[in-house]
Amino acid sequence: MSTERKQNKVSPLRSGLNQKELRYLNERLLLSMIQRYGGMPRSELARISGLSTQTASVIIRKLETDGILIPGSPVKGRVGKPSTPMALAPDGVFSIGLKIGRRNSEVVLLDFVGTIRDRRIIRYRYPEPGAILEFLDTAMTGVTAPLTADQRRRVAGIGIAAPHDLWQWYEKMGAPAARIEAWRNTDFPAEVARFSDLPVSIVNDATAACRAEHIYGRGREYRDYAYFHVGTFIGGGIVLNHAVHEGNQGNAGAFGSLRTLDREGRPATLIDTASILLLEQRLGQAGLDAERLCAEHGDWSGMGEHLDPWIDQLGGELASASLSICSVVDFEAVFIDGSFPASVRARIVAAVRHHIENRDRRGLILPAIREGTIGVDAKAMGAATGPIFDGYFLNPNARATVV
């Protein structure tokens, strides 16, 4: 009888850190604290982080020398000398973000504090890889042109936010299957390497939007929440323990695939019943121009007879979906945002709150229903944030592909 013992497959634990890795981890910790809470003096950073005052001071001094941190105005306390808060340097790091959408794509230049410095937009009937990669090449040159040589060296990378398995949705986009099928074998890092040596990170577009809300919006107020982003199609994201959770294969929060029923009671998915595409179809059937829905910061006024029923239907679908996902994870809140004006977002959230009160909530704790705050910029900002987090902040749940 063999004495060999069969080894069970066990997921490995994270290995320990050497001295160099520990130093980088401490740098990321301090930068993450400043990003999340705002400027703080050295003593406060040391206290909250648990680092010794000397260790924190050495790290902060290095980051200041490198142009990553800048001192703010001294703040006088009740006793002792005024303290000087350290803040992120807006020009300390830059990043390029590409959002690939069903109706348009956008390239942005994001700085270290989350300000979009410049942007370029291309619109189309449906997305094709060659045209979008050519657009990225040209747009990158345009948005970085005003930067100094030193600032260009501080561009951390290119973040790309794209829908998961884009080629599967050709029919809903009204696109020829063969043209959209080209996305299946598109190798983004290899293609981008033809015109840029910057590292590339790739993330699901709705997860990118969730990341933007979590970092730059109201998401920091909650530990665990779900996030819906209503665009041409609907998608989502998940935050667990103060970090965006991307999932085993980067597709966590794929709420558009949640099962529901259409208006005739037939099986459908949330994409079929809770997307801007439905409003486009309503306008098209009425002989109205639906292009205004895709315009940046577009005007949605004067569409009441078509907009009102869409908002009511969307509110009901999101109410049911919110309860469904909260039966799996006990989320504190559900955020709702999308590619529409803030006034429309407020009405959608009000509709969700109304409908959720009339749903069967037995066994569930009702989450807070909150408005997102980033809006139409969320996906592009979230894409650009990827390279910055990869290089400078703590991001325990990240799994974006980086090359």
- Name the phi and psi angles at 76, rounded to 5: -85, 125
- Looking at per-residue pLDDT, the higher value among 7 and 102 belongs to 102
Is 399 a residue whose pLDDT tops 50? no
pLDDT digits (tens, 9 = 90+) for 66-84: 999 999 888 776 566 678 8
pLDDT digits (tens, 9 = 90+) for 43-74: 999 999 999 999 999 999 999 999 999 998 88
d(CA 272, CA 274): 6
- Looking at per-residue pLDDT, the higher value among 28 and 170 belongs to 28
User: Which pLDDT value is given to residue 288?
Assistant: 85
- Decide: 119 and 106 in contact? Cβ < 8 Å: yes
Using alpha carbons, list the distances in angstroms from residue 189 to 128, 193, 345, 389: 16, 6, 35, 18
pLDDT digits (tens, 9 = 90+) for 295-351: 656 678 888 899 999 999 999 999 999 999 999 999 999 999 999 999 999 999 999
Average pLDDT, the chain: 89
Q: Which fold has domain 218-373?
A: Nucleotidyltransferase; domain 5 (3.30.420)
d(CA 368, CA 350): 12
- Residue 324 amino acid letter: S
Question: Within a 10 A sphere around the Cβ of 226, how many other Cβ atoms?
Answer: 24
Q: Which CATH class name applies to 94-204+380-402?
A: alpha beta
- Provide the CATH number for the domain formed by 19-75 in this structure: 1.10.10.10
Query: How confident is the model over 136-162, as a mean pLDDT?
Result: 97
Is 165 a residue whose pLDDT tops 80? no
Instruction: Name beta bridge partners: 116.
Output: 110
CATH 1.10.10.10 residue ranges for the chain: 19-75
- Which of 25-39, 93-107, 154-168, 172-186 shows the lowest mean pLDDT across its residues? 172-186
- Please list the alpha-helical segments (H only) found in 286-367: 304-326, 342-356
Is 1 a residue whose pLDDT tops 50? no
Q: What is the pTM of this model?
A: 0.89
pLDDT digits (tens, 9 = 90+) for 83-115: 889 999 999 999 999 999 888 999 999 999 999
pLDDT band per the 50, 70, 90 thresholds, residue 204: very high
Let me know if 101 is exposed, middle or buried by CB neighbors in 10 A (0-12, 13-18, 19+): buried
Query: How confident is the model over 170-185, as a mean pLDDT?
Result: 73
CATH 3.30.420.40 residue ranges for the chain: 94-204+380-402, 218-373
